[in-house]
Each structure stands twice: as C-alpha cells, then as structure tokens.
Structure 1
Amino acid sequence: MLPAEREHLIITFLKTNKKATIHDLAIEFKVHEATIRRDLNKLEQFNQIKRTHGGVVLNDSEVWDELNFDDRESSYYYEKLAIGHQAAEFVENGDTLFIDSGSTTIHFARALTQKNNLTIITNDIHIASILKSTSNQVIVTGGILYKDNYLLNGMITNDTLKLFNPSKLFLATPALDLEKGVTHFNETLTSTKIQMVNQAKQIYVLTDSSKLDKVSLYNVCPTHRIDTLITDHTNHKINWTSYETKLNHLVTVDTNICH
C-alpha cells in the first residue's frame, strides 16, 4: 500500500472511530508503528490530524465529540496551565463565581487556592476537591456524575444553578467561533452551560486556541455575551485581528512562563 493511500485510510478510520492510538493504527493497517508515526507526521504538517497524549484525533472545524478528561488534560497542557493562571488575575477577594467543568478550568481552580473570601459554585467534583482545603466557600451543584469527566449534570444540576446569581462565570468549551459563539456537541451538557450563562453577570471563556474557529451542534452563548476570552496565541491559523475586533476583551497568554 502506498503511503498516500494509507494516509487517506487513516483519515477514514478516524472519522469512524473519533480517535486512535499509534498501536491501533499499526494493527489496523498491518505495518510497524514507526511507519504510522511517519504517516501521522505528514498528516499533522497539513493540519489534518491533531496529536494527543498517546493518540491522534481529526483536526476538524466541526466538533462532534471530545476525549475523556485525562486525555484532554494532557493535551495542550502548558497552554491550559497559563490560561488558568491568567484567569485567576480577574478574580478579586469576595467574588462569587461559577466554575464550569473542564480540563482548562481545573488549572484555574488550582490558581485560586491563594485567593480568599470567595464563594465558588461548581458542577465539577475534581474542582471542588482542589478547593476544599482553602478558606473559600465551595458549593457543589449535585446531579448525575459523568465518571470519565468528573462533572455533574442534569435536572438537579440546573435547578441548583438557578438559585445563584454570581458575579462571574468561568466557562469551558470545546468550540468557539466568532459568528456562532460558544457551542457544544452534547445537548444534555449544553443545558447546564446555558443555565450558567443566564445566571452570571460577567462571562469569562477559558479555552486553548485549538478550540477557536470551531463550531458544534448546540448553541451555548453568543459572542457578544462573552466579556473576556482568555486563550493562547500558539494557533497560527487564527485571524487574531478579527478576534480583537469582535470580542469585548481578548487576553492571550504567554505559555513560555509555564515551561
């Protein structure tokens, strides 16, 4: 089989299976893992795939799914770390916060451990466990536990969120587009994010730049409702001038300080 033919079949495989490891692909195409790595290197050069910790996914403008939390946390790790630390600069002692569940907001929660007199409402048990030893008040929403992602969701979660009117929401997302705004691929998870948006006074979106210029099926929040987007500037395909023009406030972080 020619390399070009195998590369095409790898893309087809990923469209069907969403993600794969190098080992999976080597078995599927009956070649050595070194051969698969060369194929992936070429596909990555043309922005057709995205490498993750131990695997690979399609690099697509439409988001239909995402990896489990552990894989997402290791992907773009330093970008997410820097975003989390920068976001903490927007929190003042005495603030009331919604913190959405996510692999970027987990770093934000870690950066809040030095803050005081906060009231934090979250639907993420991992975030709650990080903040439990601080002097801040932590409220967990309750709801159905999604075990692979540490998040709580569903009717109980949404009913709890309706009880609060926090000053700030720190929102995670798998997709953000200047025209479509914040979107999500899962209808059930979308409802909780929408409820957070409806209740909060200010909205901060925390996401690495690989999620920009991406659209998913369900609308969460229009662009004009975003008070501040905090991201990294490592994605060279992004038209940053458009983001600066259309957003209320854009903050891009320096990831070098985290290495």
Structure 2
Amino acid sequence: MLAQQRQEAILQRVRATGGVRVSELATEFGVSDMTIRRDLDVLAERGLLAKVHGGATSAPPGATDEPGFAAKSARQRAEKTAIAGRAARLVTPGMAVALSAGTTTAELAHRLAGIAGLTVVTNSIPVAEILHRSGRPDQTVVLTGGVRTPSDALVGPVAVAAIRSLHLDLVFLGVHGMTERAGFSTPNLLEAETDRALVDAAERLVVLADHTKWGTVGISSIAPLAGAHTVVSDDRLAEEARQTLRDHVTELVLAEVGE
C-alpha cells in the first residue's frame, strides 16, 4: 500500500470512529509505529486530524482558524523555498506584479528583489519590508493600506479601493487551502475580498501552494481552480491532486524539494 493510500484509509477511520491508536494502525497495515506517526504528521499538517498521545482524533472544522505569520513561516520551509524559486522564473524585468499576503509569497519576495525594473503591489507588510530592505532604486513597491490581520495582511475597503485602480501583469496568490469544490480559499473573509481584487486586477493568476494545502478548505473562496493560469506546488503533491489540477488549470508546475 502506498503512503497516500494508507493515509486516506487512516483519515477515513478517524472520521468514522472519532479516533485511532498508533499501535493498532501499525498492526493493521503491517508497518512500524514510526511510519504511522509520520502518516499522522502529514494529516495533522493539513488540518485533517489532531494528534494526541498514542494516536489521533478528529480535528475541529478549522475553516476560520488563522495562524499568525511567524507560526506559518516555520511550516514546510523546504517546499516554500523550492516553490518560490520556480515562481521567480515567471517574472521578467519591467513587469508589474502583485504579491498577496503569505509566507510563500514572502519567500518569493526575496527572489524578486534581484529583478530589475519591477513594480510590485502587495497587501503584505512582510513582503513590502523585504523589498524595501533590498534598496533597489529601479523598483517601485506599492503597499496598500487597510486593516492588519493575524497573517500581516492589509485588508478591507481601503485596500480593495487601492487595488481596483491598478492593471497588473501577474498576481502571485498564497492560499490557505485548495479543493476541487471550494477552489482556492482563505480563513479570513476580508482577506478573501482583498485577494479577489488582486486577482481581478491582473492578466494572469499564479497560485503558490505547497502539497499540504490540497484538501484544506477556508471559510471563503477566492477563486475556482479554473481561475488560475498557473499553480506552482511541490513534487510531494499527491497524484490525485495533480490530476485534478491539470484538469482545471492551464499549467501545473511542481518544484523539486531541495532543488
């Protein structure tokens, strides 16, 4: 049995019974306790269950749970680095691009600091700080106003009004989750509205989402899967997710982790 198949079976068991034990799962699937713990780690990172001593239980819905920027920065570091590296290849000197709030877009900002003549629009305080520290005189950084969220995004009517007057080549969108039904989503209603304004202002939508985002749903949808021209994820993305995305988006790019 493949790891993905085993994890799906574990998740179904948790949803059916409310909880599982590591020892029982190891015996049932004929694998080590350590293998089962790794499976539970993967499912817990996606918010699909909650790890407890000796096993796991059902996770709360979590559609409005919004970790802070620092907490999210510590997750999937290798994947975010790889995704940012591939996404930067889509940008050429002189473009006008937007970066939404998020830890993966912040990682991308470090790479955009080396590209000449860019105009970068963002509602992310960390992204603006990264680009400001680069000190490039040939770049223009536009930080929208707005109300600050736990993820250091600026949202609300002030941000939306500023964005709606712009015309951009690309928008790089970080997301909380992605599924076929909900599309790309976020746990913050105001951030969803601001992100939709960024999407509407750009010619092309590029979504940056590591493999753990698949199957996760936030309370508010930003765009359907088909609304993205390109999705940049990592090579740990499940095969089922790859096929679903290829059925909906123009281009799926899988960054090699550790590349």
Q: Same fold (TM over 0.5)?
A: yes
Q: Structure 2: where are the runs of 5+ without partners?
A: 1-13, 19-32, 53-57
Q: Which amino acid aligns with 1:80?
A: K
Q: 2: distance between equivalents of 1:81 and 1:100?
A: 17
Q: 2: distance between equivalents of 1:63 and 1:40?
A: 30
Secondary structure class of the residue paired with 1:105: helix
Counterparts in 2 of 1:40 and 1:69: CA distance versus 1, 3 Å:
farther
Contact 1:231–1:252 (Cα < 8 Å) also in 2:
yes
Q: 2: distance between equivalents of 1:255 and 1:235?
A: 11
Counterparts in 2 of 1:137 and 1:215: CA distance versus 1, 3 Å:
same
- The question of 1:45 aligning with 2:35 is answered no
- The question of 1:83 aligning with 2:78 is answered no
Partner residue of 1:122? 122
Secondary structure class of the residue paired with 2:193: helix
Q: Which amino acid aligns with 2:234?
A: D
Q: 2: distance between equivalents of 1:40 and 1:49?
A: 15
Contact 1:50–1:56 (Cα < 8 Å) also in 2:
no
Counterparts in 2 of 1:183 and 1:40: CA distance versus 1, 3 Å:
farther
Q: Which amino acid aligns with 2:39?
A: Q
Partner residue of 1:155? 157
CA deviations 1:55-95 (Å, max 9, x no partner) are: 97977897431321111111000100111111110001111
Partner residue of 2:195? 193
Contact 1:95–1:118 (Cα < 8 Å) also in 2:
yes
Q: Which amino acid aligns with 1:88?
A: A
- The question of 1:96 aligning with 2:91 is answered no
Q: Could you tell me which of 128, 144, 148 is aligned with 1:145?
A: 148
Counterparts in 2 of 1:51 and 1:190: CA distance versus 1, 3 Å:
closer
Q: Could you tell me which of 250, 253, 256 is aligned with 1:254?
A: 256
Alignment of 1:6-17 (within 5 A): none
Alignment of 1:194-213 (within 5 A): 194-213=196-215
- The question of 1:172 aligning with 2:166 is answered no
- The question of 1:219 aligning with 2:221 is answered yes
Counterparts in 2 of 1:215 and 1:149: CA distance versus 1, 3 Å:
closer
Counterparts in 2 of 1:109 and 1:48: CA distance versus 1, 3 Å:
closer
Q: CA deviation at 1:218?
A: 1.6
Secondary structure class of the residue paired with 1:49: helix
CA deviations 1:116-144 (Å, max 9, x no partner) are: 11111111121111111123111111112
Q: 2: distance between equivalents of 1:66 and 1:210?
A: 15
Q: Which amino acid aligns with 1:139?
A: V
Q: Which amino acid aligns with 2:146?
A: G
Q: Quick one: percent identity of the two aligned structures?
A: 23
Report the TM-score when normalising by structure 1: 0.76
Q: 2: distance between equivalents of 1:117 and 1:163?
A: 21
CA deviations 1:157-213 (Å, max 9, x no partner) are: 111111201111000100111333112222111110111111111000001110013
Partner residue of 1:113? 113
Q: 2: distance between equivalents of 1:75 and 1:63?
A: 18
Q: 1: distance between equivalents of 2:154 and 2:235?
A: 31
Secondary structure class of the residue paired with 2:45: strand
Considering only aligned residues, what root-mean-square deviation do their CA atoms show, in Å?
3.0
Contact 2:179–2:214 (Cα < 8 Å) also in 1:
yes
CA deviations 1:207-227 (Å, max 9, x no partner) are: 111001322222211122100
Contact 1:48–1:59 (Cα < 8 Å) also in 2:
no
